[in-house]
Amino acid sequence: MDLRSVCVYCGSNAGSRPLYAERAAALGTRLAREGLAVVYGGGNVGLMGIVADAALAAGGKVIGVIPEQLVNWEVAHRGVTRLEIVANMHERKARMFDLSGAFVALPGGFGTMDEMFEMLTWRQLGLGDKPCAFLDVDGFYAPLVSMMDRMVAERFLHAEQRNDLWHGEDIDAMIGWMRAYVPAQADKWLDGKRRRELR
Ligand code: AMP
């Protein structure tokens, strides 16, 4: 696929260990060097600010999409290439989806999970067909991936959907996977037989 921009979901906190910040900066730098615009939540805090600053420092384009409420809390990054202020979280998610060719989650909390799982949910319903990756840092996402495997084993999630996402720690491998991505067929997922299989 012709990949031009990557949406980064990540913590509005920087996490407990310097490694999280290091990997966030490495991702921002790498995306910029690849000529890929960074789309993100527009904050100047935590891993979000670190990704944005690193991409900007490497000469990259950074588009922040932030709801008014967060601008009022003064957490908006004023140095990004473009800051889009939207009315609420729903608008923000839709706008980030439209602007992005792929999605990556760095470590984060509820906000990061919410955003990433919404993309995965849209995709399995056939509403989106863009690659989704969990860029792990020192096994942070291993328990979540185990949970997904359990969802498959217990027949709550189809293996095709589970296998349609990328999980790993190597940024180059992730970008290569995104560029080569061919979406799984949502109509296979939605046909009656598959639905019965999950019952
Ligand atoms: P969390 O993982 O709970 O820290 O939430 C991070 C995600 O939620 C980011 O990808 C943002 O899109 C959004 N978010 C949460 N807090 C903020 C904030 N203070 N400023 C901007 N975006 C935020």
Strand partners, 86: 67
Whether 72 lines ligand 1, by a CB cut-off of 6 Å, is no
> Rounded to whole angstroms, how far apart are CA atoms 108 and 96?
17
Whether 48 lines ligand 1, by a CB cut-off of 6 Å, is yes
> Rounded to whole angstroms, how far apart are CA atoms 116 and 69?
21
Which letter does DSSP use for residue 154 in this model?
T
> Over the stretch 43-64, which tens digit does the pLDDT of each residue have?
999 999 999 999 999 999 999 9
Which distant-in-sequence residues (6+ apart) come within 8 Å of 2 by Cβ? 101
pLDDT at residue 194 greater than cutoff 60: no
Whether 45 lines ligand 1, by a CB cut-off of 6 Å, is yes
**pLDDT (mean) for 12-40:** 98
Whether 64 lines ligand 1, by a CB cut-off of 6 Å, is no
**Which residue ranges form the domains of the chain, and what is each CATH number?**
5-179 (3.40.50.450)
In this prediction the pTM is 0.92
Is the CB of residue 189 less than 8 Å from the CB of residue 160? yes
What CA–CA distances, in Å, run from 62 to 7, 141, 167, 171?
10, 25, 24, 18
What CA–CA distances, in Å, run from 34 to 67, 68, 100, 193?
28, 31, 15, 42
pLDDT at residue 191 greater than cutoff 80: no
Give the least confident one: 15-24, 89-98, 156-165, 188-197: 188-197
Whether 43 lines ligand 1, by a CB cut-off of 6 Å, is yes
Q: How does strand 37-40 pair with strand 5-9?
A: parallel
What pLDDT score was predicted for residue 127?
A: 85
> Over the stretch 133-162, which tens digit does the pLDDT of each residue have?
999 999 999 999 999 999 999 999 999 999
Q: Hey, whose CA ends up nearest to atom 2 of ligand 1?
A: 109
Per the prediction, the chain carries an average pLDDT of 92
Distance from residue 101's CA to the centre of ligand 1 (Å): 20
Best substitution site from 110, 112, 118, 134 to test ligand 1's pocket, by max atoms within 8 Å of Cβ?
Answer: 112
> Over the stretch 59-108, which tens digit does the pLDDT of each residue have?
999 999 999 999 988 789 999 999 999 999 999 999 999 999 999 999 99
Q: Is the dihedral of CA 155, 158, 163, 167 positive or negative?
A: negative
**pLDDT (mean) for 159-183:** 96
In this structure, the number of other CB atoms found within 10 A of the CB of residue 110 comes to 9
